[in-house]
Chains A and B, each alone.
Chain A
Amino acid sequence: MFALHGVGNFHIRPKLTTFAVNLPRTTYTSINLVMLSINGLRASIEGKEILKGINLGIKPGEVHAIMGPNGSGKSTLASVLAGREEYEVTGGSVTFNGIDLLELAAEERAAEGIFLAFQYPVEIPGVTTINFLKTAVNEIRKYNGEEPLDAARFLKMVREKAKLVSMNDSLLKRALNEGFSGGEKKRNEIFQMAVLEPKLAILDETDSGLDIDALRIVAEGVNSLRSPDRSAIVVTHYQRLLDYIVPDFVHVLYKGRIVKSGGKELAFELEEKGYDWIKAEVEAAEVNQ
């Protein structure tokens, strides 16, 4: 395994250096200050390489926005971080609070504090949202050596969180996401996040399909969780969301690599100019090799 990783890294090294200039400084800070450290991450699905050497460092309290054209690998990155098994990690490493994340099963990552709000939340007939969450909360507590929450305390907590994201109580009793509107599904993701209080939340296009009011509510939900020891990765196509959830860094993912990074002003620039100029830069860099 190690030998294979070595070969992979060697092969891509020249290309990587081209983009390293644009990487945020956090990547180079010492490991123990970083919550999430992604180094040279490569991943494929069905033999097709999607992530081609991702480098990214996230410190506690930071919010990183990831933007980029359709199909560039944003959801793939989110899925690989959350532990989706269909993706094969072919190189690189990911450390989360000092732990080798890639060694953990999806449920262990969740218990360690990673949460993925899905771009397309899954409908699960026959399992109510409330029952699902109760199982999740108690499984995570078990993993962390805690007693299960009793029904009364769980319900009280859930009601508070539901209020936070203006989630209707009646949705909680319905089968998970089944027949939910697009916006309700997204809101349910944020609600679950509020209940699980992750250390690192990865929001994959949680803003798409939301009306203006819902967008604000969802953003408030995210912001209410912001704290010096919680971080977030926000995948979005729209600068609009970033008005509400102000990021510390904005990265552009293109063809499986982070090709540009900057502050929140980069999002404005992208909104204004689109991606063509970035694509041109990348193509130029590739030609120069």
Chain B
Amino acid sequence: MTFETIDLKTKLITDFHARESVMNGEAKSAFHQKKRAALAQFDTLGFPTIQNEEWKYSNVRDLISASYNFNTSDTLSAEDLVDLKMPEQAANILYFVNGHYNAALSTMVSSTDQIIIDSLQNAYKNNPELVNSYFDELVKDDTDAFTSLNTAFAHDGVFIHIPDNKTVEHPVILRFVSDARQENIGSQPRNIIAVGKNAHVKIAEAFRTIGEQRSFTNVVTEINVGEEAGVEYYKVQNESENAYHIGTTQVRMLEKSHFYAATVTLNGKFTRNNLNIVIDGEHCEAYMYGLYFPDGSQHVDNHTVADHRKPNSESNELYKGILRDRSKGVFNGKIFVRPDAQKTNAFQSCKNIVLSTDATMYTKPQLEIFADDVKCSHGTTTGQIDEEALFYMRSRGISKPEAMSLLMFAFCADVVSQIKIDSIREYLENVIAEKLSRS
């Protein structure tokens, strides 16, 4: 195993140097220097093992035991996407195939005075200073090997800039499709979202796979939420049985801003989501919702951080999971309340229904509170479906499977109803209803 581990790591490092050697002056840019530093960090850290406390229940051995082609793009046409259709909605829809922006498949509806939106690659070409001013700024202190790896290889993804006082009427939907029909595909999209003062936007990231080979997605999204801004951010994963997904979303909130996140994992072999929110202003409100639904031998791990650095802000977190078969779920929710962050309200809850004796849920709330005038609470529940409720429904003539599916749909609804992009919410309702009818 060790041999194979070194193999993917060495391959990636070699690949990096090969790319660097064909760069011209760009290799000296500040942008590239950040990548170099990240590569050095990745080299030092190596892929995490389960000895690493943050990866205790999530073993990446299987993920890194294969090789992946990271260098493909444009392999998809509109016809290939027919099966991935979502309900129609007027939205800015951007496609990324194997991590690379595909202009032909994408549609933009919002005007450019409301939103600057482009692929990271184009944005950097057109305005390197602006892009570089945001790139890596939020995650540079991250000690996660996958984040470093993403930074080192950051090449494409989305760059979104919302000017001050603009409300983007139409949502932004980023669709990441891995085309794993021919071979194992790797992709490392890097998204940068900068929302100006008092600006508002709804953004979704949707991840899909085509084909039976492996896909390995290692995505990083950096979101800057300006003063008084409002951002709704949804991450939806409905990938294949051979999809490995590691993602970090790093958020920084300034004074009086609102940030809503919902992370929904419907399908995928191995998923690890990190959602880290730094609340760096007063009177902020952060909401984190999560829903996961693994079956078979799928693995879903959600790590979240609410880092309260300033007083008078609030964070609310609700993660819910339904686990079937031999699946495994992990929830680790950290709440930091720094000494300055008096009058913080921080609430966290993780509720799980485990439908099979072979399924396992690991939950770990982690509160570190250094201020004395705060309100914090956390709670986790892991149980079976409520038997009382089930009998009540059956006594009214509702069959057991139908009653179970109504109860589970209701369980999911707490999270799904938070999603304010209609087409995404409808899509989720449909997929969830369909998944439930299979139980």
- A-to-B contact residues, CB < 8 Å: 82-86, 105-107, 109-111, 115-116, 118, 121-127, 131-133, 135-137, 139-140, 143, 175, 192, 196
List 12 A–B pairs whose Cβ atoms lie within 8 Å, in order of A's numbering. Answer: A105-B394, A105-B400, A109-B395, A110-B394, A110-B395, A115-B396, A118-B395, A121-B392, A124-B410, A126-B410, A132-B406, A139-B398
Which one of B391, B393, B413 contacts A126 once the chains associate, using CB atoms below 8 Å? Answer: B413
**Closest CB in chain A relative to B55 CB, distance in Å:** 34
Q: Which chain B positions have C-beta within 8 A of A85? A: 391
In Å, the complex CA distance between A127 and B396 comes to: 14
Q: A83-B394, A122-B388 in contact; A107/B411 too (CB < 8 A)?
A: no
- B-to-A contact residues, CB < 8 Å: 386-389, 391-400, 402-403, 406-407, 409-411, 413-414
**Closest CB in chain B relative to A209 CB, distance in Å:** 17
Q: Are A136 and B392 in contact (CB under 8 A)?
A: no
Q: Which A residue sits closest to B413, measured CB to CB?
A: A126
Q: Are A124 and B394 in contact (CB under 8 A)?
A: no
Q: Which chain A positions have C-beta within 8 A of B398? A: 107, 132, 135-136, 139
Q: Which B residue sits closest to A133, measured CB to CB?
A: B396
Q: Are A83 and B395 in contact (CB under 8 A)?
A: yes
Q: Which chain A positions have C-beta within 8 A of B406? A: 127, 131-132, 135
10 new A-B contacts at CB < 8 Å, known A133-B396, A136-B398: A105-B394, A107-B397, A107-B400, A115-B396, A121-B392, A122-B391, A123-B389, A124-B389, A126-B410, A140-B397
Nearest 5 CB-CB pairings of A with B: A126-B410, A110-B397, A106-B394, A140-B397, A136-B396
Q: Are B399 and A116 in contact (CB under 8 A)?
A: no
Q: Which A residue sits closest to B406, measured CB to CB?
A: A127
Q: Are A196 and B397 in contact (CB under 8 A)?
A: yes
Which one of A116, A123, A133, A135 contacts B395 once the chains associate, using CB atoms below 8 Å? Answer: A116
| Chain A CB within 10 Å, residue with most, of B388, B398, B409 | B398
In Å, the complex CA distance between A118 and B389 comes to: 12
Q: A126-B410, A127-B407 in contact; A143/B397 too (CB < 8 A)?
A: yes
**Closest CB in chain A relative to B410 CB, distance in Å:** 3
**Closest CB in chain B relative to A244 CB, distance in Å:** 24
In Å, the complex CA distance between A125 and B393 comes to: 13
Q: Which B residue sits closest to A118, measured CB to CB?
A: B392
Q: Which chain B positions have C-beta within 8 A of A125? A: 410
Q: Are B410 and A127 in contact (CB under 8 A)?
A: yes
Q: Which chain B positions have C-beta within 8 A of A123? A: 389
**Closest CB in chain B relative to A194 CB, distance in Å:** 13
Q: Which chain B positions have C-beta within 8 A of A139? A: 397-399, 402
| Chain A CB within 10 Å, residue with most, of B386, B395, B410, B414 | B395
Q: Are A106 and B411 in contact (CB under 8 A)?
A: no
Q: Which chain B positions have C-beta within 8 A of A143? A: 397
**Closest CB in chain A relative to B201 CB, distance in Å:** 29
Q: Which chain A positions have C-beta within 8 A of B410? A: 124-127, 175
Q: Are A106 and B413 in contact (CB under 8 A)?
A: no
**Closest CB in chain B relative to A260 CB, distance in Å:** 29
Q: Which chain A positions have C-beta within 8 A of B392? A: 118, 121-122, 124
Q: Which chain A positions have C-beta within 8 A of B413? A: 126
Q: A126-B411, A126-B413, A127-B407 in contact; A132/B394 too (CB < 8 A)?
A: no
Q: Which A residue sits closest to B394, measured CB to CB?
A: A106
In Å, the complex CA distance between A133 and B406 comes to: 12
Q: Which chain B positions have C-beta within 8 A of A135? A: 398, 402, 406
**Closest CB in chain A relative to B352 CB, distance in Å:** 16
Q: Which chain B positions have C-beta within 8 A of A133? A: 396
Q: Are A124 and B393 in contact (CB under 8 A)?
A: yes
Q: Which chain B positions have C-beta within 8 A of A110? A: 394-397
**Closest CB in chain A relative to B321 CB, distance in Å:** 15
**Closest CB in chain B relative to A270 CB, distance in Å:** 28
Q: Which chain A positions have C-beta within 8 A of B387? A: 86
